[in-house]
A and B are shown apart, each in its own frame.
Chain A
Amino acid sequence: MSDSKMISVTVNGETTTAAVPVRQNLVDFLRNTMGLTGSHVGCEHGVCGACTLEVDGAMVRGCLMLAVQADGTQVTTIEGYGDRAAALRDAFTARNALQCGYCTPGMLASAVEYIEGGGAADRAAIREHLSGNYCRCTGYQSIVDAVCDVIDGASA
Chain B
Amino acid sequence: MSGPLTIFDKPNSYIGKPVDRPDAKRLLQGRGKFVDDIQLPRMVHGAFVRSPVAHGRILSIDLEEARGVPGVIAVYTGADLAEHVTPYVGVLSHLAGLRSAPQMPLAVDVVRWTGEPVVMIVATSRAVAEDAAALVYVDIEELPVATDMERALEPDAPVIHPDFGSNLAWERTVEVGDPDAAFARDDVTVVERTFRFGRHTGVTLEARASVVEYDPSEDQLTCHYSGQAPHMMQYIFAKHLGLAEENVRVISNDVGGSFGIKIHTYGDEIATAAAAKLLGRPVKFVADRLESFLTDIHARDHVVHGRIAVTQEGKIEALAFDDITGIGPYSMYPRTSAIEANQVLNLTGAPYALENYRANAKVVFQNKNLMCQYRAVGHPIAMAVADGLLEDAAAEIGMDVVEIRRRNLVKDDAYPCVSATGMKLDDLSHHKTLDLLIETMDYDAKRAEHAALREQGIHRGLGLVSMIEVTNPSPMFYGIGGAPIASQDGATIRLDAGGAIHVSSSVTEQGQGTNTILAQVAAGVFGVDMDRVKVTTGDTKTTPYGGGTWASRGAGIGGEATLQAAFALKEQVLDVAAVILQAKVEGLDIIAGHVCDTDGTQRMSLSDLARTVYYRGNELPSDMSPELVATRHYRVSDFPFVFTNAAMAAEVEVDPETGFVKVLNVWAVEDCGRVINPKLVDEQIRGGVVQGIGGAFYEECIYSEDGQLENATMADYLVPMAFEMPDITVAHVETPTKTSVLGAKGAGEAGTGGAPAALMNAVNDALRPLGASIHQMPMTPERILRALGTV
Contacts and interface: CB of A to CB of B under 8 A. Distances in A.
Given A31-B37, A141-B728, A79 B256 contact: no
B687 A102 contact: no
B256 A44 contact: no
A44 B723 contact: no
B683 interface: yes
Q: How large is the interface on A (under 10, 10 to 19, 20 to 34, 35 or more residues)?
A: 35 or more
Contact of B255 (A24, A42, A50, A100): A100
B683 A136 contact: no
Interface string B17-32: 0001101111111111
A102 B206 contact: yes
Contacts of A42: 205-207, 289, 714
A11 B328 CA distance: 46
A98 B83 CA distance: 44
A138 B683 contact: yes
B215 interface: no
Contacts of B497: none
Given A93-B28, A134-B714, A139-B725, A100 B206 contact: yes
Interface in A94-150: 94-96, 98-105, 108, 123-124, 126-128, 130-131, 133-144
Contact of A101 (B28, B686, B687, B723): B28
Nearest to A21: B127
Interface string A62-80: 0000000000000001110
A132 B93 CA distance: 46
Contacts of A156: none
A155 interface: no
A32 B45 CA distance: 13
A100 B256 contact: yes
Interface string A17-44: 0000101100000011001111111111
Q: In terms of DSSP, what is the predominant structure of the interface of chain B?
A: loop
Given A94-B20, A134-B719, A137-B687, A100 B131 contact: no
Nearest to A37: B37
Contact of B713 (A45, A89, A96, A99): A45
A2 B722 CA distance: 38
A131 B683 contact: no
Contact of A136 (B29, B34, B39, B259): B259
Nearest to B509: A100
A104 B24 CA distance: 10
A128 B723 contact: yes
Contacts of B512: 99, 137
A131 B721 contact: yes
Nearest to A139: B686
Contacts, number: 177
Contacts of A55: none
A105 B30 contact: yes
Q: How large is the interface on B (under 10, 10 to 19, 20 to 34, 35 or more residues)?
A: 35 or more
Interface in B234-276: 254-259
B30 A37 contact: yes
A7 interface: no
Q: Which of B259, B713, B723 has the most CB of A within 10 A?
A: B723
Nearest to A102: B256
B285 to A, nearest CB: 14
B205 A99 contact: no
Contact of B722 (A39, A45, A137, A143): A143
Contacts of B312: none
Contact of B21 (A44, A96, A123, A124): A96
B513 A127 contact: no
B126 to A, nearest CB: 9
Contact of B39 (A32, A105, A140): A32
A99 B28 contact: no
B34 A102 contact: yes
Nearest to A107: B722
Given A42-B205, A144-B722, A96 B680 contact: yes
A30 B258 CA distance: 25
Given A38-B29, A98-B28, A135 B680 contact: no
Contacts of A35: 39
A58 interface: no
A102 B28 contact: no
B254 A101 contact: yes
Contacts of A136: 202-205, 257, 259, 687, 691, 719
Interface in B18-72: 20-21, 23-32, 34, 36-37, 39
Contact of B727 (A40, A41, A85, A123): A123
Nearest to A78: B30
Nearest to A126: B722
Contacts of B679: 95-96
A133 B722 contact: yes
Interface of A: 1-2, 21, 23-24, 31-32, 35-45, 47-48, 50, 77-79, 85, 89, 92-96, 98-105, 108, 123-124, 126-128, 130-131, 133-144
Given A94-B20, A99-B687, 8 more contacts: A2-B127, A2-B128, A43-B289, A47-B714, A96-B24, A101-B256, A136-B719, A137-B512
7 closest pairs, A vs B, by CB?
A: A38-B30, A101-B27, A100-B511, A139-B686, A102-B256, A99-B511, A78-B30
26 contacts: A40-B206, A42-B206, A42-B207, A44-B289, A77-B30, A79-B29, A89-B28, A95-B679, A96-B20, A96-B513, A96-B683, A99-B513, A100-B257, A102-B34, A102-B254, A104-B28, A123-B727, A130-B722, A133-B722, A134-B203, A134-B721, A135-B205, A136-B203, A138-B687, A139-B689, A139-B690
